[in-house]
Amino acid sequence: MFEQLGLIGCGLMGGSFALALKRAGLVKRVVGYSKSPSTTERARQMGVIDVEAPSALLAVSGADIVLLAVPVAATEATLKAIRHLVSKDMLIMDVGSTKRDVIDAGRRVLRDHVGSFVPCHPIAGKEVSGVENADVDLYVGKQVIVTPIDRTQPEQLQRAVDVWQKLQCNVVQMAPEAHDAAFAAVSHLPHLIAFALVNGIASQTRAEDFLTLAGPGFRDFTRIAASEPKMWRDILLANRQELLEQSQVFQRTLKAMEAMIEAGNADALEGFITQASQLRANWRMGPKKG
Amino acid sequence: MFEQLGLIGCGLMGGSFALALKRAGLVKRVVGYSKSPSTTERARQMGVIDVEAPSALLAVSGADIVLLAVPVAATEATLKAIRHLVSKDMLIMDVGSTKRDVIDAGRRVLRDHVGSFVPCHPIAGKEVSGVENADVDLYVGKQVIVTPIDRTQPEQLQRAVDVWQKLQCNVVQMAPEAHDAAFAAVSHLPHLIAFALVNGIASQTRAEDFLTLAGPGFRDFTRIAASEPKMWRDILLANRQELLEQSQVFQRTLKAMEAMIEAGNADALEGFITQASQLRANWRMGPKKG
C-alpha cells in the first residue's frame, strides 16, 4: 500500500494506471501533473487524480511511488525536474516503449538515485490518447516488461513487480537491449511500415479511389498507422539503431519475395507464404504457456 | 429468380454465395462441384448445395447462373472444362481478387460467349477457408466490384448487379485495370508485406522471444499473414505487374522515412507520421458517402 502516487503525465497510460491503482486499493491519494493544465484539471474532474500539482516536482513531493507517463523523449527533462526530491525509498517507474534511451537518461540525471528507478514497459495501449480515454482495465491481463540494470535496487524492483502483478499483469524481466531489439521487430517496424504504406498510397493521384475499395485486411493492417504522431516520432527516433536493423531484415525478405514473383516461381512463393501463414496462425499473444 | 446455380468451387466464397442465394429465395437448386469429392460431399451434407456434380461441366448442365469460386489461377482450366455448355442466356460470374488475368482467360476460352461472363470481386473473406466456414452473412453489407468489358452483354451485367444487390451488397463498377491497380495497393501489397515481415522475424535466432512479446498492434498488422497460401500465391502472381509497382512506391516511402530517422529529423518525421495518422483516422471502410 502506497501513501501517494506522483503521476507525471495524466494521459491514457498514466490515467489508466492511476485508476487501476485506486481500484486495487493500493494508494491513498494521487497527485497529478501534466504539461497542459487543462489535462490536469480534466484528470481531477474525472477522478483520475485527487490533487492537481502545478509542477512535476510538486507531484513528487510527498510521493512514495512515482510514475512517469510522458513521451520517451521527455523522460530526461522530467527526471531533471524532479531529481531534487527523488529519494532512496521512492519507487520510480516509467511506461516507455523504448528502454535503453530511458535508462541512459536515468543514469545521467538521477546518478546515485538511479537505483530507485525501475524501467517498465506495459504492452498495452489504444489508438486514442488522452485522459478522456483512460481505462481502469487497460493493463488487466497484459504483459509488463521490466528492464532493471545492475544498479537497480532489488527492493524497488520487487515492489515494481508486485504493483504490476496486483494490477493483474504478467511481469517479464529482460535486459534493456533485448527489449529494444524485440520491440523494434514486433512493434516499431510494423508502425514504420504502416505509416509508409498509408503515405505511399496517399502520394498517388488515384489515392482516393484506392482507399474507397480497401477492405477489412487494409483496416486491420493499417490500424496502427492512426497512432499518436509525437509519441511515435519519439519512439522511432529513440530506438533508431535496432529499428533500422530490423527494417533491413524486412526489406531483404521483401526483395526475396519480389524476386520469386518476378520470376513466376510459384513453388518457392507458395513455400514462403506457407511458412508465414503457419507461423502466424499458430501464434498466440502473450507469454509462452507451460 | 434462377432455376439452378452451378457452383464450381464449394469453399468459403462459393459456399457462402450458395447459402446467401438460397436464403434470399433467388434459386431453386444448387448443383455443386469441387475438385475434392470430400468437399462436395461435405457441402451437400451441410445443405450448402443440393446435388453433387462429378465434374464442373455437369454442375453447369441445366444451370442459368454459374459461379466460379476457384483460385484465380484455376479460372482458365475451369472455363475450358465448362465451355461446351456455356450459352448466351447463362450468367457466369467469378469472385476472384484479380480481374485482368481472369478476363484474359475468359476471352481466350469463351470467345463468342465471353459476353455471358461478368467478372466480379466481392470484397469479403476470412482467414479461414473451406466449406466448413461458409457463412450466409459473408457478403452482407460488403462491396462487390464488377469489371465488365466492351463485350459483356448489358443484360447479363444488369442481372449480376441485381443478384449482388439482392444479397445486400454495394455494387461498384470499374475498369479491370483500375481494379487491379487499386487492389495491388490496398490488399495485395499489404499481404506481401505481412508475409515478408513475419518471415523476416522468423529468420532471426531470437524469433521466439520476439514473438512472445508481440502485442495487439502486431496481432492486427499480421492477421492477413495467416491467409491461405495457394490462394495468395496465385493472386500475387496474377497481379504481379501492379503489385511490384506498388511495392516500389512503398519502398521509396519507407526509405524516405528511414532517412528522416537516420538524420534525427524529428520535425519531418512528425509531419510524415501526422499525415499518415490523420488519413488513417479519417478513413472509413466502404464507399464514399454523399
Residue B48: C-alpha distances to residues A59, B24, B55 (Å): 65, 14, 17
A62: left (phi over 0), alpha (psi -120 to 50) or beta: left
| CB contact A275 to B (< 8 Å) | yes
CB contact under 8 A, A213 and B250: no
Q: Name the residue with cell 499473444.
A: A285
Say what the pLDDT of residue B250 is.
98
State the smallest CA–CA distance between residue B87 and chain A in angstroms: 32
Show the 3-state SS of B9-32.
CCCHHHHHHHHHHHHCCCEEEEEE
Query: From CA B73, how far away is CA B102, in angstroms rounded?
Result: 8
Q: What is the mean pLDDT of residues A263-290?
A: 90
Place of cell 487494409: A218
What's the pLDDT band for A1 if we cut at 50, 70, 90?
A: confident
The neighbour count for residue A267, using CB atoms within 10 Å, is 9
What pLDDT, on a 0 to 100 scale, did the predictor assign at position B128?
79
* Cross-chain CB nearest to B269 (options A197, A236, A270): A236
pLDDT at A288 exceeding the cut of 80:
no
Q: Residue B171: pLDDT above 80?
A: yes
DSSP B257-290: HHHHHHTT-HHHHHHHHHHHHHHHHH--SSSPP-
Task: From B192, B215, B221, select the one nearest A190 (Cα to Cα).
Answer: B221
Interface pTM, i.e. ipTM: 0.82
Q: How far apart are the CA of A96 and the nearest CA of chain B, in angstroms?
A: 15
pLDDT the model gives residue A290: 40
Domains and CATH numbers, chain B: 2-174 (3.40.50.720), 178-282 (1.10.3660.10)
CA B151 and chain centroid, separation: 23
Do residue B273 and residue A196 have CB atoms under 8 angstroms apart?
no
Percent of chain B exceeding pLDDT 90 equals 93
Give contacts of A145 with chain B, Cβ < 8 Å: 213
Q: What is the mean pLDDT of residues B134-158?
A: 97
pLDDT tens for residues B37-57?
Answer: 999 999 999 999 999 999 999
Partners of B241 in the beta sheet? none
- Does the CB of A38 have a partner CB in chain B at under 8 Å? no
Rounded mean pLDDT, A32-60: 97
Give the closest of A127, A186, A216 to B214, CB-based: A186
Instruction: Tell me which chain B residue has its CA closest to the CA of residue A180.
Output: B210
Is the pLDDT confidence value at A287 over 90? no
**What average pLDDT does range A231-237 have in this prediction?**
94
CB pairs under 8 A between A and B: 295
How would you classify the pairing of strands A120-122 and A143-146?
antiparallel
- Burial class of residue A54 in the structure, from the number of CB atoms within 10 Å of its CB (0-12 exposed, 13-18 middle, 19+ buried): exposed
Given this model, what pLDDT does residue A174 score? 95
- B289: pLDDT strictly greater than 60: no
Count of C-beta atoms within a 10 Å radius of residue A269: 23
Find, among B117, B130, B124, the residue nearest to B159 by Cα: B117
Whether B251 and A174 have beta carbons less than 8 Å apart is answered as no
From B33's Cα to the closest Cα of chain A, the distance in A is 25
Mean pLDDT for chain A overall: 95
Q: Is the pLDDT of residue B17 over 80?
A: yes
For A65, which DSSP code? E
Residues B253, A145: C-beta atoms closer than 8 Å: no
pLDDT tens, residue by residue, A170-204: 999 999 999 999 999 999 999 999 999 999 999 99
B290 pLDDT above the threshold of 50: no
The pLDDT-based confidence of B248 (bands split at 50, 70, 90) is very high
AA identity, residue B261: I
Query: In B, which residues are within 8 Å of A252 by CB distance?
Result: 200
Three cell numbers, residue A142: 497484459
Q: How far is CA A235 from CA A98, A191, A230, B59, B167, in A?
A: 7, 10, 9, 57, 46
Give the pLDDT confidence score for residue B287 in this predicted structure.
66
Q: If you measure CA to CA, which chain A residue comes closest to B141?
A: A215
What is residue B1's predicted lDDT score, i.e. its pLDDT?
A: 87
Within 195-214 of B, beta carbons closer than 8 Å to A belong to 195-204, 206, 208-214
**Averaged pLDDT score across all residues of chain B:** 95
Q: Is the pLDDT of residue B288 over 80?
A: no
B114: helix, coil or strand? Answer: helix
Read off the pLDDT band of A216 (50, 70, 90).
confident
222-251 of A, contacting B, C-beta below 8 A: 222-230, 232-233, 236-237, 240, 243-244, 246-247, 249-251
Mean pLDDT in residue range B255-265: 98
- The phi, psi pair for B281, rounded to 5°, reads -65, -30
Question: Are A200 and B270 within 8 A, CB to CB?
Answer: no
- pLDDT tens by residue, B86-132: 999 999 999 999 999 999 999 999 999 999 999 999 998 877 789 99
Residue A62, chain B, CB below 8 Å: the answer is no
